[in-house]
Amino acid sequence: MTMVNADSGRLTGRGRVLAAFKHQIPDRVPKFDQTVTMEVASAVMGREVLVGGGTLRFREVQARFTGAGPAAEFEQRMLRDVADFYIELGYDMARLPWRDTRQASRKIDEFTYQFGDPDGDGPWDTCRYDPDSCNWHQAESWLSGGDVDKLMVWLKGQADNWDGPDTDPARMDGLRRFKALLPGGMALCDTVAYLGIPMWDAAWLMALELAPELVAAELDRQLEQGLADIELAGSLGVDVALAGGDFCTKSGPAFSPDTFDTLFLPRLKKLTEHCNLHGLYYVFRTDGVTWPVAESLFERSGIHGLGEIDYGAGMRLGELRRKHPRLTLFGNLDCGGALVFGTEQDVRRTVRENLDETGGVGHVAGSSNAVMPETPPANFLAMLDEIDNFTPHSTGGRDKARGRR
């Protein structure tokens, strides 16, 4: 049921998001950004807010390394800050940011932490924060140098020792507390049902060729955990599973379409079917050029939407809408281009161009991926204002409702 504000006759935020999945013309285009870095958010809010980005993840690792008390205080403040930000900026849907909730085993220096044991048999890595770029990145890992043999030994151990998914509702306590801070009319999404491999790691790509059965077993574990998490998320009233798994670059997929069809497609279909059963929409996210796997990913998999549509890689909303009219499209304002380097007028013009390609129907507008730390706050606000002032309209028969609810 599409939700309407009884006082004004206007749709609620959740109503707009659901209308996008049904390809209905909303009162205004729903807007959503999966990540706004805390540097930009703090400038806009006029105070420091723990909202998202590399600085947020680094600060959480710091807090957790300090102790349970600081970690709990950090999380509570982060939940409140994220909720306040989405509410005050008039977003239609909210999500918790990407976090780094691991407990560091060692502090190497002011900006560097180690996770796991480099002398052990299992995964470990070292992450470093760069205060100039506000980036929290992996500096070294157990697979540095592409040690595929080590990876395959670990994958076999994981397969042999797997005892099923974690179904403890406590794993979503943070999400439950976050939802309680949001108004009832706002849509909620969560990063559940991930399916993928670290495509930036050479050892994983080599394992796809050398031991596809071990990678398949890892994907089966992801599938089983994803199915369990979809049920938990559905019980909490989550509307959108913002999931998928990066596997494309600006030149195309990191592995062959045949590999996608064999290893990923059957499992992805099970995740989307489970979302249908539990009242969620599944939005697959990946940067890069996705055309070589378009028919499988956009049609055969059953996904409901596509996110992280990479304007910088040449992905355009108009072409996606023409070729795959069933898809609900998320974002597409180039977060590494106009949003960072353009003027306010450049941003407004690009937003209008994007929205003209969809009519603002079947489209949740925002950045192509994340609002980066170097984004001028005025450009960010111009993006939101231009979305708010666009009048949604039919683009000629392509906007027929196609939703499930």
Q: DSSP for 184-251?
A: TTSEEEE---B----TT-HHHHHHHHH-HHHHHHHHHHHHHHHHHHHHHHHHTT--EEEEE---EETT
- The pLDDT, as a whole number, for residue 396 is 55
DSSP classification of residue 11: B
Q: Give CA–CA dist 179/265, Å, rounded.
A: 31
Q: Where is average pLDDT lowest: 31-35, 66-70, 145-149, 278-282?
A: 145-149
Average pLDDT, the chain: 94
pLDDT (0 to 100) of residue 6 = 38
* Rounded Cα–Cα distance for residues 63 and 53 (Å): 16
Q: Kindly write down the DSSP assignment for every residue of 27-95, as one continuous string.
A: SS--B--S-B-HHHHHHHHTS----SSHHHHHHHHHHHHH-HHHHHHHHHHHHHHHHHHHHHTT-SEE-
Confidence (pLDDT) at 3? 58
Q: What's the longest Cα–Cα distance across the chain?
A: 63
Statement: residue 8 has pLDDT above 70 = no
Q: pLDDT (tens digit, 9 = 90+) per residue, 304-352?
A: 999 999 998 999 999 999 999 999 999 989 999 999 999 999 999 999 9
> For residue 80, how many other CB atoms are within 10 A of its CB?
15
Which residue type occupies 203? A
The angle at the Cα of 26, spanning 405 to 388, to the nearest 5 degrees, equals 135
379 phi and psi angles, rounded to 5 deg: -70, -40
Mean pLDDT throughout 180-196? 96
pTM summary value: 0.93
- End-to-end Cα, the chain, rounded Å: 6
- Confidence band, pLDDT 50/70/90 cuts, at residue 120: confident
Helix (H, G, I), strand (E, B), or coil: what is residue 384?
helix
DSSP state of 26: P
| CA–CA dist 159, 214 (Å, integer) | 8
| Cα dihedral 244, 168, 238, 303 sign | positive
pLDDT of residue 2: 54
What integer pLDDT is reported at residue 144 of this predicted model? 86
pLDDT value, residue 398: 44
Pairing of β 125-130 and β 363-364:
unpaired
For residue 404, which of 258, 249, 281, 274 has the smallest C-alpha distance? 281
Domain ranges of the chain: 13-48+147-388
What percentage of the chain exceeds 70 in pLDDT?
95
d(Cα 14, Cα 242) in Å, to the nearest integer? Answer: 15
Residue pair 246/287 in contact (Cβ under 8 Å)? The answer is yes
Paired tokens of 53: 């980005």
Query: Coil, strand or helix: which one is 183?
Result: coil
Q: What does the alpha-carbon distance between residue 3 and residue 16 come to, in Å, rounded to a whole number? A: 8
Counting residues of the chain whose pLDDT is more than 90, the rounded percentage is: 90
Q: Quote the tokens at residue 188.
A: 């909620």
| pLDDT tens-digit series, residues 230-239 | 999 999 999 9
3-state secondary structure of 181: coil
CATH (residue range 13-48+147-388): 3.20.20.210
The pLDDT score that the predictor gives to residue 402 is 37
pLDDT in tens, 36-79: 999 999 999 999 999 999 999 999 999 999 999 999 999 999 99
> 127 and 138 in contact (C-beta within 8 Å)?
yes
The answer to whether the CB of 23 falls within 8 A of the CB of 362 is yes
pLDDT over 80 at 298, yes or no = yes
